[in-house]
A and B are shown apart, each in its own frame.
Chain A
Amino acid sequence: MSTKSNMSMRIAAIAVSILFSLVILYPIVFIMMVSLKNNKEFYTNIWGFPQVVRWNNYVYAWYEGQIQLYAGNSIIVTVSAVAISLLFSMLAGYALAKLHIPKSELIVSILMGLNFIPGVAVYVPLYIQLIKFKLTKTLLMLIIPYAAWQLPFSIYIFKKFYATIPSEILESARVDGSGELRTFFTIITPLVTPAIATVIVFNFVSIWGEFLWANIASSSSNKIQTLPVGLLNFKGEYGIEWGPFGAAIITIIAPLFVVFVYSQKYFIQGLSAGAVKG
């Protein structure tokens, strides 16, 4: 690989990769800088670093812009929905992989097929149903459907991982008289921690950013607005205040980047699980 053509290839590769990285980074850096300027400076000094660093924009976005409320809702909804879908899909994945469920392959295929159906197609009947269950105007209106929609993919991942555990481990636990639930939680599940991480990260990202259903649901009460919905309103109300608006955007994406650096591997693992045969 030391020929001349490979040298120029390498230089071209570095140049193009760095160029694209800048295209990704620059808008984010730009908004970070905007988030520290006031409107006057935004119009007079769009490009440069802020002359006076105005952390105040963040305080303003958090309290006046109600990011506080939206963030609280988003955290409650995301954590609960992720927890429910995780527990249920673990149990189901295990049952389908190891507990002699007839037609288990077919069940997974049907679930994955249904998973292709865009959520928006069921929102009307779902809304009607939630009224019947008296779940509107509460965060449960988001938590329960979110948990349900994440199930097919999570079950698919868990079934795959549980299937790789040798049945001998199960047998010997059973012979030792360990009950099925205990075997499941203390012996089997610790062996699939990569799957757990994958499912958590994947579901966290999809639920945290979900907008369409959250927007419809919060038409029943604006107390249940999540971050994506709230931020859109923020734009409506304070559209001209670019500084606090930028601050609100940075507030939402900053925690994600922290999570991201640690979890990138699992996220990709989850996505590529679909391509691996078996």
Chain B
Amino acid sequence: MIGRCTEMNRSKHMKRKYTFMGVLFLMPAIGLYLLFMAYPLADVIPLSLSSWTGFGERKFVGLVNYQNLLGDKIFFRALKNTIYFAFFSSIISVALGVMLAWLNLYIRRFLGNVCRTILFAPNMIAPTITGLMFLFIFTEDIGLLNGILEAIGLGKLQTAWLVNSKTVLPSIVAVTVWRQFGLPMVLCFAGLQNIPAALIESAYLDGANNRQILFRIYLPLIKPMIELSTMFTMLGGLKIYDTVVALTGGGPSKLTVVMPMWIVENAYAYTSFGYASALSVVFVIVVFIFLIILNRVFRGEEYEY
């Protein structure tokens, strides 16, 4: 009895000792993160309630910055564009990714590996660089796209892709999709590969065709992968900035402005740090609204095999 008691005390003591070690191990990471992310983040809300140009005292102005948002046309355009990019770039990327992952199942392994590697490769290229690369393609006089249209006899579709207000937003979506649709593809392919072959074979034996197998078996079973892909591409779309800077710089005449761009411009070009912080707060809220919607859309039955 006594022996067991001391044994328990001892293990409790040891556990406490390890907890102490654990805190020591944890401290560098938590300290760094608090100092350079959490602390500045905590400062955003007070900043958004003040007027400050970077010099002198901050002046508390209450909700004035938020009121000013309502009259700021460029803010609404930036918000609209950001949502547009998040929505279209994620939906198109995921649709293409799922399709190519599915098609990959019908290809010999070697060719499939080669194609997957190629299609995933642009994910490694920074968005700034892909933006600059596509300048070669969209440029009006010598661009690749206009050249191809000319060559295949569709010359009348030629346009200044990045200047024409009808084509500039879809062009930016296209560049983003080009860069990122390989990601949903590899994630979904990994999901598809985990599905037992016996399940598919028995479906074939029951007379199911390819399309039924895709919609009734494959897609429901890789739902978590589709959700994850949508989340990655959607967050990428919400944060789109580099690509736009490289392709259009926000132009023509602020038509392609996005939230991060308007935040940065207000902070560093106009030194309205308070207003930029109010924009940031709204941006964070928008991101979380998107995450909540995504969570709702994908909620529902979970399928297992």
Chain A residues with CB under 8 Å of chain B are: 1, 5-6, 9-10, 12-14, 16-18, 20-21, 23-25, 27-28, 30-31, 34, 42-43, 46-47, 84, 87-89, 91-92, 94-96, 98-102, 111, 114, 116-118, 120-126, 128-129, 144-145, 147-149, 151-152, 155, 180, 184, 205, 208-212, 216, 219, 227-228, 231-232, 235, 242, 245-246, 249, 252-253, 256-257, 259-261, 264, 267-268, 271-272, 274-275
Contacts and interface: CB of A to CB of B under 8 A. Distances in A.
Given A9-B106, A99-B19, A235-B135, A144 B36 contact: yes
Contacts of B144: 27, 30, 46
Nearest to B139: A242
B63 interface: no
Contact of A129 (B23, B40, B142): B40
A92 B54 CA distance: 36
Contacts of B100: 16-17, 20
Given A114-B37, A124-B277, 14 more contacts: A95-B25, A114-B33, A114-B41, A116-B287, A144-B32, A151-B33, A205-B124, A211-B245, A232-B128, A245-B132, A249-B129, A253-B125, A275-B191, A275-B228
Contacts of B35: 148
A129 B104 CA distance: 50
Contacts of A128: 43, 54, 273
A232 B284 CA distance: 27
A276 to B, nearest CB: 9
Contacts of A116: 235, 287-288, 291
**What secondary structure prevails in chain B residues at the interface with A?**
helix
19 contacts: A10-B106, A10-B107, A17-B112, A17-B115, A27-B133, A27-B137, A28-B133, A95-B21, A114-B38, A121-B41, A212-B264, A219-B268, A228-B129, A228-B242, A246-B136, A253-B129, A256-B124, A267-B123, A274-B228
A27 B118 CA distance: 12
Interface stretch (B2-10, B65-73, B156-164, B182-190): B182-190
Contact of B280 (A23, A43, A121, A144): A121
Contact of B32 (A34, A114, A148): A148
B75 to A, nearest CB: 14
Contacts of B281: 121
A95 B19 CA distance: 8
Given A46-B142, A148-B36, A228-B128, A101 B19 contact: yes
Given A13-B107, A129-B39, A129-B40, A275 B225 contact: yes
Given A95-B25, A123-B264, A21 B115 contact: yes
